[in-house]
Chains A and B, each alone.
Chain A
Amino acid sequence: MTVIGGGIAGLCAAIAARRGGAAVRLLEAAPQPLRGGNTRHGRNFRLTHETPLEHVPDRYTADELRAELRSVTGDGTDQVLTELLIERAHSIAGWLIEHGVHLQPPGTGVMPYSRRTAFPLGGGKAMINALYATADRLGIAISYDSEARSLLRAEDEGWTISVRSAGADDSIRTRSVVVCAGGPGADPAWLSDNFGSAAEGWMVRGTPYSDGRLLDLLIAAGGCAIGDPTTCHAVPVDARGPQFDGGIVTRITSIPLGLVVDRSGARIDVAGAGSQPTHYAKWGPKIAICPGQIAYLLLDAAGLARAAPSALAPVTAPNLGELAAALQIDPTGLLQSIEDFNAAPVNAARPIAVPPFAAYPMRPGLTFVHYGIKVDATMRVVQADGHRHDDLFAAGMIMAANVLRRGYLAGLGITLSAVFGQIAGEEAARHVRG
């Protein structure tokens, strides 16, 4: 059998299938140093536990997870899949440890403990490295730099996948396919098809390889789409960062400490964004509708001193006039906005008064789209006509919209992808073993 995509979902599917007795091949579009998709950028994952675990203190029950999920997704999520996720969110840490992943003991490093999530030691890439090493040891054939470009039903049974591997075209016959190619959205063309011209100013926080091609192929082959391709989780990111793969460090975290203006210098605000961690998800869409999809966070020296560092140092100037010039925004509008703001600063902010002044230019950074392919409880792709192939599976962010129709819970992406990846792998192995 063949697994397409080498993020957490693909690795869990491949390892579970191999352990289930199948011969497994893993296709990863990225070259080896960039393998691991968005999972590379993940920091922690959510898990349930009734009692304290070695790596997660306190307790976090299935009921709590159920309630929290419901509060963000509302109606319309697939209840069967949601229950599967909640049930398996219990065993995920143990499974990962068993397959070579090291978790960070609480109280080490600087991360405050979290009873909801566990932290892989060294982050997502360390976890990915460990799983690749395990996959290799188990005898899974791993091909890097190998992008699946089409998926065709073979005459009798199974599938033919055409692969572009290190520049050369190849084709693979396989009895079963598990598609774990990640959520769509990393392709500028895919983005502008779904978000229109507004997508021009967007940045993609994750891998450029999760480009939506496989999702399009599945839909073209009759698969049933689910969710809304025009809603997504987007956060403010530094406009000067790389177009792709900026990950966590380009996120602009200090909005509650300052004032946001658009390029005309006019103040913009998000009602109720507050200073909760969830404010990020509210600011991304807001910046997306600013002219030119750009906005600027302004801080003074005192605000900057309280701000968390981000990858690129802010633009600074000794006075507001020079700052406006450096940012190429209208100085009159800017001064007016600051005057108004200083009369009544919001949230945790204080007046912007102490030079030197600083600014971060911000764009919306796409994290994931609430859109994907419909699957059943065995992760088989559901066709628009309700029919399904018994040898075509999808797992991970590509099917996350079955559960996450809107909203997001911190650390759920990896858990969801790991859980559904494992199920897909187990089912696919069961199928090929007959």
Chain B
Amino acid sequence: MSAADKMSEAERVLRICSACMYCDGLCPVFPVIDGKHSFSLSDVSYLSNLCHNCQGCWHDCQYAPPHPFAVNLPATFAELRQRSYADHLWPPALGRVFRASSLAVPATVALALLITFGLVLDTDSSALLTAHAGEGAFYRVLPWPAMAGLAGGTFAWAVIAVTLATLRYWHTIAPQVTVREIVRALPAALSDIITLRHLGGGGPGCHDHDERTSQRRRILHHLTAGGFVLNGLSTIAASAYHHLLGVVAPSPVASLSVMLGLVGGVTMTVGAVGLLALEARSDREPSDRGETRLNVAFLILLALVGASGLAVLGFRSTPAMGLLLTTHLGLVFGLFAALPFSKALHAPFRAAALLRVAIDSRRRTLARAPEASGDTP
């Protein structure tokens, strides 16, 4: 479908939904379109990121195919969501890379692995397969300046690119708001973001692969995202040990950084593998192949990073440590480098959309009087 066709399909379907509203309790998309006659590109950019493809409105739709109206809102949004990522990437040229994300992400990771291995071999080719122990063991594999340089460089790139993309996105979807309004809406938005309140089809859960609902997706998503955050904290803790306390990695097993990394690594890996399993079983009709590829590429990467981190911890006193550490570091650098054109964008974009919802719903006064509608047939 061409971009114009996608837009007119979105208009057609959203118009039917806004006349129908039977799904208004399922997710925040519906209250936003209530009463609207037409939709602009910025509307669909906003709406498509409010949808997280729980597939509730697919199973519950009285107009789903083979009905002649053939409403398939989740698939429509899935396509538009990718477009909203591509349109807002920074630098804009990344848009093209993004469209080939299922190639670009593995390619970037492979390159990062190659560079990391190259540096290790270049420094001391025996480091890979010898056992190292004691303080500074990790830096005997990859010297600190290289490790910190690659980590810092790729991380800074990720933060800058993702931040700028998110700001560009916010600029598209932001209503005319005052800073005060944003601040007031923040607590509600943050609570929605952190609790994944909407990842539940209005209560019963997501449709993982058929008309039954479950909370699996929400739980696995929490594990993945929570694990990611714990791993970040573990890294911060490790550098605090290094710079503030002078404890050079590998930190003792009982240290905060190892504990955080252990718990974070396990939860992130379990979560990502679980989400991959759900992805494998999910219905294809209300989803989009492009989005599935994006999800799969990102989830595999997260699972590999988590698993390799755990392997480093498990085998750090054996001769395999060098190899495992190098692999893990390569994957981490690759993750950071690929982040700005991966499914990771989903997090800040959705957060921005939820902030806008919180602002909107503070503004929305219930215009309709009780019992005025709902009076069917």
Q: Can you list 12 residue pairs at the A/B interface with Cβ under 8 Å?
A: A109-B30, A111-B21, A111-B374, A112-B370, A119-B374, A124-B22, A133-B211, A133-B212, A247-B62, A248-B377, A311-B16, A411-B375
User: Is A213 positioned at the interface, with any CB of B under 8 Å from its CB?
Assistant: no
Contacting pair A311 B69 (CB below 8 A): yes
Q: Give bound CA distance, A114 to B21, whole Å.
A: 16
Q: Total A-B residue pairs with C-beta atoms closer than 8 Å?
A: 152
Binds A, one of B31-39, B76-84, B305-313, B343-351: B31-39
Contacting pair B60 A309 (CB below 8 A): no
Nearest CB in chain A: distance from B323 CB, A? 50
Contacting pair B60 A110 (CB below 8 A): no
Q: Provided the pairs A114-B370, A122-B60, A123-B62 are in contact, do residues A42 and B376 lie with their beta carbons within 8 angstroms?
A: yes
Chain B residues 1 to 57 lying within 8 A of chain A, measured CB to CB, are 15-16, 18-26, 30-31, 34-37, 56-57
Q: Give bound CA distance, A121 to B211, whole Å.
A: 14
Contacting pair A121 B63 (CB below 8 A): no
User: Is B122 positioned at the interface, with any CB of A under 8 Å from its CB?
Assistant: no
Q: Write out the residue numbers on chain B whose beta carbons fall within 8 Å of the beta carbon of A110.
A: 21, 24, 30-31, 34, 368
Q: Provided the pairs A245-B67, A249-B20, A311-B15 are in contact, do residues A44 and B202 lie with their beta carbons within 8 angstroms?
A: no
Binds B, one of A33-41, A85-93, A193-201, A372-380: A33-41
- Residues of A in contact with B (beta carbons under 8 Å apart): 31, 33-34, 40-44, 102, 104-105, 108-117, 119, 121-126, 129, 133, 205, 233, 235, 242, 245, 247-249, 251, 277, 304, 307-313, 367, 408, 410-411, 413
Q: Look across to chain B and name the residue whose beta carbon is closest to the beta carbon of A249.
A: B19
Residue from A109, A126, A304 within 8 A of B60 (CB atoms): A126
Q: Provided the pairs A34-B66, A242-B68 are in contact, do residues A119 and B375 lie with their beta carbons within 8 angstroms?
A: no
Contacting pair A108 B25 (CB below 8 A): yes
Contacting pair A121 B25 (CB below 8 A): yes
Q: Write out the residue numbers on chain A whose beta carbons fall within 8 Å of the beta carbon of B68.
A: 242, 245
Q: Write out the residue numbers on chain B whose beta carbons fall within 8 Å of the beta carbon of A121.
A: 25-26, 201-204
Q: Look across to chain A and name the residue whose beta carbon is closest to the beta carbon of B27.
A: A109
Nearest CB in chain B: distance from A307 CB, A? 8
Contacting pair A248 B202 (CB below 8 A): no
Q: Write out the residue numbers on chain A whose beta carbons fall within 8 Å of the beta carbon of B56.
A: 122, 126
User: Is B93 positioned at the interface, with any CB of A under 8 Å from its CB?
Assistant: no
Residue from A123, A126, A129, A235 within 8 A of B377 (CB atoms): A235
Q: Give bound CA distance, A105 to B36, whole Å.
A: 24
Q: Write out the residue numbers on chain B whose beta carbons fall within 8 Å of the beta carbon of A312.
A: 15
Q: Write out the residue numbers on chain B whose beta carbons fall within 8 Å of the beta carbon of A115.
A: 370-371
Q: Provided the pairs A116-B371, A121-B202, A311-B69 are in contact, do residues A40 and B62 lie with their beta carbons within 8 angstroms?
A: yes
User: Is B179 positioned at the interface, with any CB of A under 8 Å from its CB?
Assistant: no
Nearest CB in chain B: distance from A421 CB, A? 19
User: Is B177 positioned at the interface, with any CB of A under 8 Å from its CB?
Assistant: no
Q: Give bound CA distance, A115 to B375, whole Å.
A: 12
Q: How large is the interface on B (under 10, 10 to 19, 20 to 34, 35 or more residues)?
A: 35 or more
Q: Give bound CA distance, A413 to B373, whole Å.
A: 17
Residue from A109, A309, A411, A413 within 8 A of B19 (CB atoms): A309
Contacting pair A111 B373 (CB below 8 A): yes
Q: Give bound CA distance, A308 to B15, whole Å.
A: 10
- 12 more contacts with CB within 8 A, not counting A109-B24, A248-B22, A311-B19, are A34-B66, A41-B62, A104-B25, A110-B30, A110-B34, A122-B56, A124-B62, A245-B67, A248-B20, A249-B63, A312-B15, A410-B376
Q: Write out the residue numbers on chain A whose beta carbons fall within 8 Å of the beta carbon of B60.
A: 122-123, 125-126, 129
Q: Give bound CA distance, A411 to B21, whole Å.
A: 16
User: Is B94 positioned at the interface, with any CB of A under 8 Å from its CB?
Assistant: no
Nearest CB in chain A: distance from B59 CB, A? 6
Q: Write out the residue numbers on chain B whose beta carbons fall within 8 Å of the beta carbon of A117.
A: 374
Q: Provided the pairs A121-B25, A247-B63 are in contact, do residues A41 and B377 lie with their beta carbons within 8 angstroms?
A: yes
Contacting pair A44 B19 (CB below 8 A): no
8 tightest A-B contacts by CB? A123-B22, A109-B24, A122-B60, A104-B25, A277-B375, A126-B60, A249-B19, A109-B25
Nearest CB in chain A: distance from B75 CB, A? 16
User: Is B64 positioned at the interface, with any CB of A under 8 Å from its CB?
Assistant: yes
Q: Give bound CA distance, A44 to B201, whole Å.
A: 18
Contacting pair A102 B371 (CB below 8 A): no
| Most A Cβ at <10 Å: residue of B34, B65, B377 | B377
| Most A Cβ at <10 Å: residue of B19, B22, B36, B374 | B22
User: Is B61 positioned at the interface, with any CB of A under 8 Å from its CB?
Assistant: yes
User: Is B253 positioned at the interface, with any CB of A under 8 Å from its CB?
Assistant: no
Q: Write out the residue numbers on chain A whose beta carbons fall within 8 Å of the beta carbon of B57.
A: 122
Residue from A119, A133, A313, A411 within 8 A of B25 (CB atoms): A119
Q: Provided the pairs A41-B377, A104-B25, A110-B24 are in contact, do residues A309 and B69 lie with their beta carbons within 8 angstroms?
A: no
Q: Provided the pairs A43-B22, A121-B26 are in contact, do residues A205 and B59 lie with their beta carbons within 8 angstroms?
A: no
Q: Provided the pairs A235-B377, A309-B19 are in contact, do residues A33 and B211 lie with their beta carbons within 8 angstroms?
A: no
Nearest CB in chain A: distance from B25 CB, A? 4
Q: Give bound CA distance, A121 to B25, whole Å.
A: 6
Nearest CB in chain B: distance from A282 CB, A? 14
Q: Give bound CA distance, A411 to B376, whole Å.
A: 6
Q: Give bound CA distance, A92 to B234, whole Å.
A: 54
Nearest CB in chain A: distance from B174 CB, A? 22
Contacting pair B65 A33 (CB below 8 A): yes
Q: Give bound CA distance, A110 to B63, whole Å.
A: 20
Q: Provided the pairs A41-B377, A119-B25, A249-B20 are in contact, do residues A112 and B62 lie with their beta carbons within 8 angstroms?
A: no
Q: Give bound CA distance, A55 to B35, whole Å.
A: 24
Chain B residues 178 to 210 lying within 8 A of chain A, measured CB to CB, are 201-204
Contacting pair A113 B62 (CB below 8 A): no
Contacting pair A112 B31 (CB below 8 A): no
Q: Look across to chain A and name the residue whose beta carbon is closest to the beta carbon of B11.
A: A313
Nearest CB in chain A: distance from B184 CB, A? 20
Residue from A33, A129, A410 within 8 A of B375 (CB atoms): A410
Contacting pair A112 B377 (CB below 8 A): no
Nearest CB in chain A: distance from B44 CB, A? 16
Q: Provided the pairs A109-B25, A313-B15 are in contact, do residues A122 and B374 lie with their beta carbons within 8 angstroms?
A: no
Contacting pair B35 A309 (CB below 8 A): yes
Q: Give bound CA distance, A249 to B204, whole Å.
A: 26
User: Is B245 positioned at the interface, with any CB of A under 8 Å from its CB?
Assistant: no
Q: Give bound CA distance, A205 to B59, whole Å.
A: 21
User: Is B244 positioned at the interface, with any CB of A under 8 Å from its CB?
Assistant: no
Q: Give bound CA distance, A310 to B202, whole Å.
A: 24
User: Is B254 positioned at the interface, with any CB of A under 8 Å from its CB?
Assistant: no
Q: Give bound CA distance, A44 to B24, whole Å.
A: 13
Q: Write out the residue numbers on chain B whose beta carbons fall within 8 Å of the beta carbon of A122.
A: 22-23, 25-26, 56-57, 59-60, 201-202
Q: Look across to chain A and name the residue whose beta carbon is closest to the beta carbon of B370.
A: A112
Contact with A along B297-330 (1 / 0, CB 8 A): 0000000000000000000000000000000000
Contacting pair B370 A113 (CB below 8 A): yes
Q: Write out the residue numbers on chain A whose beta carbons fall within 8 Å of the beta carbon of B25.
A: 104-105, 108-109, 111, 119, 121-122
Residue from B16, B26, B373 within 8 A of A249 (CB atoms): B16
Nearest CB in chain A: distance from B280 CB, A? 23
Q: Write out the residue numbers on chain B whose beta carbons fall within 8 Å of the beta carbon of A124.
A: 22, 62
Q: Give bound CA distance, A266 to B369, whole Å.
A: 35
Nearest CB in chain A: distance from B7 CB, A? 14
